[in-house]
Amino acid sequence: MLAFLGFAMVATFLALMMTKRLLPLVALTLVPLGYGILAALLGHFPTAKLGPMMLDGLKTLAPTGVMLLFAILYFALMIDRGLFDGVVAWILRRVKGDPLKVALGTVALTLIVSLDGDGSTTYMICVAALLPLYQRLGMNRLLMTCLMLLSSGVMNLTPWGGPTARAASALHLEPSAIFVPMIPAMLFAIAAIFALAWHYGSRERERLGILTLEVLGNATARPRLLWFNGLLTTGLMACLILALLPMPVLFMTAFGIALTVNCRDLAAQKEQINAHAASVLSVVSLIFAAGIFTGILSGSGMVEAMSKSLLAIIPDALGPHLAVFTSLISLPFTFFLSNDAFYFGMLPVLSEAAGHYGISPIEIARASLIGQPVHLLSPLVPSTYLLVGLARVELGDHQRFTLRWAVLVSLALLLGALLVGVFPWQGTLVGGK
């Protein structure tokens, strides 16, 4: 019953988001609370445990909420002060107002920046550089968030990315041994993303035409502080990559310095913060509401029950195809569950079962990575809230626009993996279960 409640809770939330029946903030709070109360009334746990569950979820996501708050304020300040005007002007001169080139450039830039393995940093840099360009050309911002998320999802498979590291840890493998054979499959997926960018970029070119744009000045820019802001941002990115301090602390410190230097008097500082207060509130409130969602989903035992229910219904006929089966279920289950729940809870069991058919743990580990482009659309992924917040789009709109393409890119990744043989289509029974 807990598994059913867990799946129903996630499905209810998604339905409410995609049909726009409730605000994400409200749905993330009330939907899990309702299902949590129902689970308690059915005797799965005492009602008194609901409060601690929700607090645990809030505590877990509190650092992320603080980081996003100050990250949005910091990059908003940098954009307002013209730090990225030069980048936009350079891109404008190269793309010459062609939406097709902008779409292709979005994928290329995100793939390069994603090499750092951190989705939040990638989104902050790429949105800051490209959002002004999309606005100037009148292009659909949902296209930008879609291409960035898909590109980041594929590059998230690097050994220093979260999924590969988790799979390696869960099955006691070397991350590089999982990753290197996956590179050709990743190229298949990247080709699919570029094809998608070409498709939508061509449509945007037909809708908007190839525009001649002048590089306009920024009324709030501070040319004299350009070098200071550039050095501060470069230093911040270096500290993030080197993990010298926790991300919330780094962004709080950087924003404090930037605000003090760029806005000399108290009134200007208040005005700068107030100008972006709505964007900050909408994103940070979602993060804390997601804490309620994840707290109840995990603390109630729903995640564990969902995992066991899946494993219990695997028919014997699927045994030889467990590698492909693992890759396919990674799409919905890394969406419904956290990466930790999937890789540390389900993957070892799947690997043990696959071993009876001569399918090695390293092949199951590679198969488990296929669903990552879909995973990033999950309401359990904090960086997705940052992406939609910076791009100023609705989470439900983003999910509805991107989901089918995320599935397509995951299938392209699967096709590439099967063609290059990084895991088998079919194993052979080598021992009794």
Distance CA 223, CA 369 (A): 45
How far is the C-alpha of 213 from the C-alpha of 219, rounded, in Å?
A: 18
Contacts for 270 with CB less than 8 Å, ≥ 6 apart? none
Q: What is the pLDDT of residue 386?
A: 85
Contact by Cβ (8 Å): 328, 422: no
pLDDT band at 214 (very low <50, low <70, confident <90, very high): low
Residue 348 pLDDT grade (very low, low, confident, very high; cuts 50, 70, 90)? confident
- Give the other-Cβ count within 10 Å of 117's Cβ: 19
Torsion of CA 347, 350, 356, 362, to 10 degrees: -30
Mean pLDDT of the chain: 84
Q: How deeply is 116 buried, as exposed, middle or buried, from its count of CB atoms within 10 A (0-12, 13-18, 19+)?
A: middle
Q: When comparing pLDDT for 93 and 9, which is higher?
A: 9
Residue 103: what pLDDT? 93
C-alpha dist (Å) from residue 165 to 170, 238, 359: 9, 22, 20
Q: What mean pLDDT is predicted for residues 242-266?
A: 89
Percent of the chain, pLDDT > 90? 29
Q: Which of 132, 147, 136 has its CA nearest to residue 199?
A: 147
Question: Could you report the per-residue pLDDT of 134-179, keeping only the tens digit for each?
Answer: 988 889 999 999 999 999 999 888 876 678 878 887 787 888 788 8
Chain centroid to Cα 171, Å, comes to: 24
Q: At what angle do helices 2-18 and 322-336 cross, to 10 degrees?
A: 60
The per-residue pLDDT for 149 is 95
Please tell me the pTM assigned to this model. Answer: 0.70
Please determine, for residue 215, whether its predicted confidence score (pLDDT) is greater than 60: no
pLDDT tens digits, one per residue of 264-321: 889 999 998 998 887 788 778 877 887 888 788 878 888 778 767 766 776 767 778 8
The whole-angstrom separation of Cα 155 and Cα 186 is 8
DSSP 245: S
Per-residue pLDDT, 430: 65
Confidence of residue 186 (pLDDT cuts 50, 70, 90): very high
State the pLDDT confidence band at 194, using cuts at 50, 70 and 90. very high
**Does residue 433 carry a pLDDT above 50?**
no
Contacts 24+ apart (CB under 8 A), 198-206: 198/100, 198/103, 198/104, 200/103, 200/140, 200/143, 201/99, 201/100, 201/101, 201/102, 201/103, 201/104, 202/100, 204/99, 204/100, 204/102, 204/103, 204/139, 204/140, 204/143, 205/98, 205/99, 205/100
Between 229 and 89, the more confident residue is 229
pLDDT band with cut points at 50, 70 and 90 for residue 201: very high
